[in-house]
C-alpha cells in the first residue's frame, strides 16, 4: 500500500478517534470525586492511555511496504 494512502487513512481514523476519546474522558471526569488526588490519578492515567492504541497505528502508517517481486524497478 502506498505510504501516502496509509497516512491519509490514518488521518481519517486517528483524528475522529482522538476526539471521541477526549469526549469520553471529559464526560467521565465529571463522575470522579472532587478529591484532588483522585482527579490527578484519573487524568494521569487517561493522559497516557490514548497512546496505547495510537503508537502501533502510527508505526503501521510509517512502515515502508516491501516492493512486489513481480514488478520491475
DSSP the chain: --HHHHHHHHHHHHHHHHHHHHHHHHHHHTTS-S-HHHHHHHHHHHHHHTHHHHHHHHHHHHPPPPPPSSS--
Here the cell at position 49 is 492511555
pLDDT at position 68 is 67
24 to each of 9, 38, 48, 60, 73, how far by Cα in Å? Answer: 23, 17, 14, 25, 48
What's the pTM? 0.76
pLDDT, one tens digit per residue, over 6-64 is: 899 989 999 999 999 999 999 999 999 999 999 999 999 999 999 998 998 889 888 87
Amino acid at each position: 500500500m502506498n505510504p501516502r494512502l496509509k497516512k491519509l487513512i490514518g488521518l481519517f481514523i486517528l483524528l475522529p478517534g482522538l476526539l471521541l476519546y477526549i469526549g469520553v474522558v471529559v464526560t467521565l471526569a465529571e463522575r470522579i470525586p472532587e478529591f484532588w488526588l483522585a482527579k490527578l490519578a484519573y487524568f494521569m492515567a487517561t493522559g497516557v492511555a490514548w497512546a496505547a492504541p495510537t503508537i502501533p497505528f502510527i508505526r503501521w502508517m510509517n512502515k515502508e511496504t516491501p516492493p512486489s517481486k513481480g514488478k520491475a524497478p
